[in-house]
Structure 1
Amino acid sequence: MTETHDYQLRRNCFGKLEFIGPDGEIHTGVVPVRAFPISAPADGIALVDPYGHELAWINELGDLREEPRKLVETELAQREFMPVITRIVSVASFATPSTWQVETDRGAATLILKGEEDIRRLTPPALLIADSHGIHFLIPDRSALDQHSRRILDRFL
């Protein structure tokens, strides 16, 4: 069990994250949620119960001691899956829906772009692309992509 401020975090025998409040009440199935997952991933993390009620707020992940920080980081890693696109290999067509072949930091992938509205502009020059299966792909800096990838991307922006 690890103390953090006036609450404790631990993992139960089923692997679920538990929050023990200052009153001793135990909440099982706690989920950390980032307020700014792209622009400030280590700042502003809420610990919420399974019903979405906020139990605690973490201003900066680095403020936590090692054990609770590892618990929160592990839970975030299991919950979040956002491959980073490093290269756009090809697109089946420039009309949507369109099948894209991309290279990511997790290997080659195929995504289906339903419409141009599924490419969201974040803090420049970042983009977030949602495929038809709900997976979000991140392009942190579109100007860092190779010329071929930028040309393909420009046709959809």
Structure 2
Amino acid sequence: MKTEFTLSRDAFGKLNLVDAAGELHENVSPVRAFPIQAPLSGISLVNTDGKEVGWIDSLDQLSAANAALVREELQSREFMPEISRIIAVTSFATPCTWTVETNRGATDFVLRGEEDIRRIGTDALLVSDTHGIHFLIRNQFELDKHSKKILDRFL
């Protein structure tokens, strides 16, 4: 099943959708239904009122141009560094500062409490810092031995 709409950007860089009936929906935003477990599937296109005006079962269903626009828009809105290694923590009591290596480089952040580490499924973890930034550990069991040892103290 192909998705029945076209996407374009206006002069201000906002994403617009023209549906199958020819109706223009200005300034739409893609919102992932399952951002971690199925990031390329189940994407809702919502208007400024939060009303859904389009649905994407899978980005593979879109034309290359439409898929590129959706990916661009998602990347500009979402910021979730993925932790690949835990280098050090200042203390095993919270709050403490974590030094980690991510897909966006090394960084430090403050973990307020153990409750800021949430399980997502069986393998993934979502770690929130004091500024509300979410760090993803896609598979806690694939971390190196040192990282696992540190992480186990907080789980």
TM-score past 0.5 threshold = yes
Matched residue SS, 2:98: strand
1:23: Cα distance to partner? 4.3
C-alpha distance in 1 between matches for 2:68 and 2:35: 17
Matched residue SS, 2:80: coil
C-alpha distance in 2 between matches for 1:40 and 1:5: 18
C-alpha distance in 1 between matches for 2:132 and 2:54: 28
Matched residue SS, 2:151: helix
C-alpha distance in 2 between matches for 1:60 and 1:130: 28
Equivalent residue for 2:109? Answer: 111
User: Is 1:102 aligned with 2:85?
Assistant: no
1:65-92 CA-partner distances (Å, limit 9, x unpaired): 1111110011111111111111111111
C-alpha distance in 2 between matches for 1:5 and 1:39: 22
Which of 15, 19, 22 pairs up with 1:21?
A: 19
C-alpha distance in 1 between matches for 2:52 and 2:151: 38
C-alpha distance in 2 between matches for 1:115 and 1:24: 50
Equivalent residue for 1:48? Answer: 46
Alignment of 1:64-103 (within 5 A): 64-103=62-101
1:21: Cα distance to partner? 3.0
Paired AA for residue 101 in structure 2: E
Equivalent residue for 2:147? Answer: 149
**Equivalent pairs, count:** 154
Please provide the CA RMSD for this pair: 1.4
Equivalent residue for 1:126? Answer: 124
1:22: Cα distance to partner? 3.8
C-alpha distance in 2 between matches for 1:52 and 1:64: 22
Equivalent residue for 2:57? Answer: 59
Q: TM-score, normalised by structure 1?
A: 0.92
Q: Is the 8 A contact 2:46 2:53 kept in 1?
A: yes
Matched residue SS, 1:156: coil
Matched residue SS, 2:12: coil
Q: TM-score, normalised by structure 2?
A: 0.93
1:77-130 CA-partner distances (Å, limit 9, x unpaired): 111111111111111111111111101111001111111111110122111111
